[in-house]
A and B are shown apart, each in its own frame.
Chain A
Amino acid sequence: MKLNGAHILCDGLVKEGVEIVFGFPGGKVIELFDTFAHYPQLRFVLVRHEQAAAHAADAYARVTGKVGCCVATSGPGATNLVTGIANAHLDSVPMVAVTGQVDRGSLGRDAFQEVDITGITLPITKHNYLVMKSDEMAEAVKEAFHIAGTGRPGPVLIDVPSDVWVEQSEYTYPEKIELPGYKHKLPVYPTQIKKALKAISEARRPIIVAGNGVIISNAHVQLKELAEKAQIPVVNTLLGLGCFPQDHVLYYGMTGMHGMAYANYALNEADLIVAIGMRFDDRVTSKLSTFAPRASVVHIDIDPAEIGKNVKANVAVVGDVKEVLTALNKDIETLSHGDWLKQIEQWKSDHPSHEIRDTDRLLPQYVVRCISDVSGGDAVIVTGVGQHQMWAAQFSVINKPRSFVSSGGLGTMGFSLPAAIGAQMGRPDETVWSIDGDGSFQMTLQELATIAQEKLPVKIAILNNGYLGMVRQWQEFFWDKRYVATPIASPDFVKIAEAYGIEAMRVTNKADVLPAIEKATNYDGPFLIDFRVEPEENVLPMVKLGSAISELIEQPKSEVSTW
């Protein structure tokens, strides 16, 4: 069968199980878009800026576990994807991005809307392709989805010169993948499992730090089994939230720069860290030389390059987290760490970081907790980046995996709204809350139009404090309160939403928070709430800059009471 490049791509997308493509048209992808008309199986979602296409595909992938897909034209279309691709790369999100390119004859001549996108994305993709002939297309698509979705997932870019879209070639979709340099299935070594088991059984103060890898590997059941059998307390990284039930007695919250004080104390005093699918990011470790000084480390990760990159592993177990945990669970002894757990409980009651200050003021933390309470921990929470992100992480209850979507590694402001689009499309029957800040929201608010056009019932909570709050907080603590470039004026968000045809309201009193959230939840369609929260509220606890994770700035005790 002879097909042209555009048809081969579309057929490949269908064969790879793609259902939704996020993107924006342009000169060098017109042929491709014309071809979409022949593939009703592919739902195309028109965003308002290519960055949003990448974030939407990213979030779609995170909430479904499938490979997300986005399309943009050459030049600025492609460069607008870059932030989104980098975001997916740093958070190990499977994604295939397709870009148009100038025709082959014009390549390298600085043609109109030409940019070397394979060169630009080289360090932020798992792999990329410049498809120079239509008969290379099928293989490229097959390989791209395979590479993106297996092993440690990541984004793959396929760049296609415009004349390749229309070039005919003989087409059969490859059945096998011939990638001699890509070995994603690494065997789990029984000797390493034995060593890990020994380390766990000998530990007196063990702690599990569970990260994104547990979610990617769908290993939450195995994680729970391990923790319960061996009675090991569990803390999460930011992206690990949801991989362990948060109402579990062994769960002690998020660790890291804005982690719960008791989670950080536990890490600091632990004699064994079982690190599962996490990479010892600096937001977790803070100062490396003082990180967990008493602990040896069992590091479980699918990416061998993560072992020993930041923190030395005493026992390295390379492999898929689910396989490794299954192997561990088979032979793990039933253990008990009563004194250790009691100690952590003591820290928890002495330093209750999870509690909210008792006040009549409208605290952002209170808004987050109300959203969580109304949804019963069942909503998909999608955040932007900044203070609101940390409050969302600290005060939401996330009881199931793939339900907390946040830009962890890259810290991309503006992520929330477009990501909420992808999350809602991936989980159409669930409530999706975009928790955003007034600064973060303004970076991508044009996507309200996409939400309206696609009739997506996304609920949007803006924690509006009139500041670029996280930077303001740093300025308050470390730069003598010189608030340079952090006070930020905003438009009337309610009017903005209404202009896009989206229901909206403003909340200025604490008493109105719950009713507003309930109203939004029950409303059939998108709903935006502009919460005018306490302007200079800080995210606490906070690890002091350049310190050990146990050195925290905490909420003053007297102001804390159980909410």
Chain B
Amino acid sequence: MVASVKHTLVALVEDKPGVLNRSASLFRRRGFNIESIAVGHSEIRGLSRMTIVVDGASTAVEQVEKQLYKLVDVVKVIDITEDRMVSRELALIKVSATAAQRSEIVQIADIFRARIVDVAPDSVMIEVTGDEAKLNSLLELLKDFGIKELVRTGRIAMVRGTSEAVPIDEESVQKIKRRRKKTKTEK
């Protein structure tokens, strides 16, 4: 079986200064080709969740996983590529638009269930979520109007169903809680 080229890794990391730096530095020095990385809070306080997209064609994904795991602040790493997952990305797109072009752009945005979030005399800003393919097709259609500015968040992903995709043992959760409690009482 040939795995899809783009791998989605999820890493749970301790919410500490420097943890993103440690991961990013690791990717750079080991020559890992990272397509995107998105970080934010997870459901467990004290733990952040990273979604990392790796190009499996140019990078040994297993090495990324194992090397990440060696970082002391990284609690869990899992490759969810083969799982049934929902993966999303958010983009804000500022498109050149004369008054005459505006309605056509709105129509295109509607098809993609994107929203117009700002309108200026010569441009509109579109907010869109979806997987990379959807975002890429929308961008393709908007290209001819002229894309003045673009920002994408990178992929975030979650496995469908009730099972925990990123199982984390109770002992680790307790440890994180105790660590948080300690820093709190100290303050």
**Bound pair (A, B):** yes
> Which chain B residues border A180 with CB–CB below 8 Å?
14, 75, 171-173, 175-176, 179
Contact of B72 among A127, A133, A135 (CB under 8 A): A127
Cβ of B136 under 8 Å from chain A? no
**Interface size class, chain A:** 20 to 34
- Given A180-B175, A180-B176, A309-B63 in contact, is the A122-B69 Cβ separation under 8 Å? no
- Chain B contributes a number of interface residues (CB within 8 A of A) equal to 28
Cβ of A181 under 8 Å from chain B? yes
Asked if B74 and A181 sit within 8 Å, CB to CB, the answer is: yes
Cβ of B70 under 8 Å from chain A? yes
Cβ of A182 under 8 Å from chain B? yes
Residue of B nearest to A152 (CB): B70
Contact of A304 among B25, B26, B69 (CB under 8 A): B69
Query: A309 to B25, alpha carbons, bound, how many Å?
Result: 19
Q: Mark A94-125, 1 if CB is under 8 A from B, else 0.
A: 00000000000000000000000011001100
Residue of B nearest to A128 (CB): B18
Asked if B175 and A178 sit within 8 Å, CB to CB, the answer is: yes
Number of A-B contacts (CB under 8 A): 51
Cβ of B73 under 8 Å from chain A? yes
What is the distance, in angstroms, from B44's C-beta to the closest C-beta of chain A? 10
Cβ of A369 under 8 Å from chain B? no
Cβ of A472 under 8 Å from chain B? no
Asked if B22 and A181 sit within 8 Å, CB to CB, the answer is: no
Query: A305 to B67, alpha carbons, bound, how many Å?
Result: 6
Query: A147 to B71, alpha carbons, bound, how many Å?
Result: 11
What is the distance, in angstroms, from B32's C-beta to the closest C-beta of chain A? 12
> Which chain B residues border A122 with CB–CB below 8 Å?
18, 21-22, 25
Query: A305 to B77, alpha carbons, bound, how many Å?
Result: 13
Asked if B186 and A135 sit within 8 Å, CB to CB, the answer is: yes
> Which chain A residues border B14 with CB–CB below 8 Å?
180-181
Asked if A303 and B70 sit within 8 Å, CB to CB, the answer is: yes
Cβ of B184 under 8 Å from chain A? no
What is the distance, in angstroms, from A187's C-beta to the closest C-beta of chain B? 13
Q: Mark B107-126, 1 if CB is under 8 A from A, else 0.
A: 00000000000000000000
Query: A307 to B65, alpha carbons, bound, how many Å?
Result: 12
Contact of A126 among B18, B69, B72 (CB under 8 A): B72
Cβ of B62 under 8 Å from chain A? yes
Cβ of A308 under 8 Å from chain B? yes
Cβ of B157 under 8 Å from chain A? no
Cβ of A179 under 8 Å from chain B? yes
Q: Mark B15-53, 1 if CB is under 8 A from A, else 0.
A: 001100110011001000000000000000000000000
Query: A286 to B173, alpha carbons, bound, how many Å?
Result: 45
Cβ of B148 under 8 Å from chain A? no
Residue of B nearest to A119 (CB): B21
- Given A122-B21, A135-B186, A308-B62 in contact, is the A179-B175 Cβ separation under 8 Å? yes
Asked if B66 and A181 sit within 8 Å, CB to CB, the answer is: no
Contact of B66 among A126, A179, A182, A305 (CB under 8 A): A305
Q: Mark B71-103, 1 if CB is under 8 A from A, else 0.
A: 111110000000000000000000000000000
What is the distance, in angstroms, from B45's C-beta to the closest C-beta of chain A? 13
Q: Mark B161-184, 1 if CB is under 8 A from A, else 0.
A: 000000000011101101100000
Q: Mark A292-326, 1 if CB is under 8 A from B, else 0.
A: 00000000000111011100000000000000000
Residue of A nearest to B173 (CB): A180
Asked if B25 and A123 sit within 8 Å, CB to CB, the answer is: yes
> Which chain A residues border B29 with CB–CB below 8 Å?
123
> Which chain B residues border A182 with CB–CB below 8 Å?
72
What is the distance, in angstroms, from B103's C-beta to the closest C-beta of chain A? 51
> Which chain B residues border A119 with CB–CB below 8 Å?
21
A245-270 with Cβ < 8 A to chain B: none
> Which chain B residues border A130 with CB–CB below 8 Å?
17-18
Cβ of B9 under 8 Å from chain A? no
Query: A560 to B69, alpha carbons, bound, how many Å?
Result: 51
Query: A132 to B43, alpha carbons, bound, how many Å?
Result: 27
Asked if A181 and B73 sit within 8 Å, CB to CB, the answer is: yes
Asked if A181 and B18 sit within 8 Å, CB to CB, the answer is: no
Q: Mark A175-186, 1 if CB is under 8 A from B, else 0.
A: 000111110000
> Which chain A residues border B26 with CB–CB below 8 Å?
123
- Given A135-B186, A305-B67 in contact, is the A181-B62 Cβ separation under 8 Å? no
- A sample of 8 more A-B contacts (CB under 8 A), given A305-B67, A309-B63, is A123-B25, A127-B71, A178-B175, A180-B75, A180-B172, A180-B176, A181-B73, A181-B172
21 contacts between A and B (CB under 8 A): A119-B21, A122-B21, A122-B22, A126-B72, A127-B71, A133-B186, A178-B175, A179-B72, A180-B14, A180-B171, A180-B175, A180-B176, A181-B13, A181-B71, A181-B72, A181-B172, A305-B66, A305-B67, A305-B70, A308-B62, A309-B63
Q: What residues make up the interface of B, taking CB atoms closer than 8 Å to A?
A: 13-14, 17-18, 21-22, 25-26, 29, 62-63, 66-67, 69-75, 171-173, 175-176, 178-179, 186
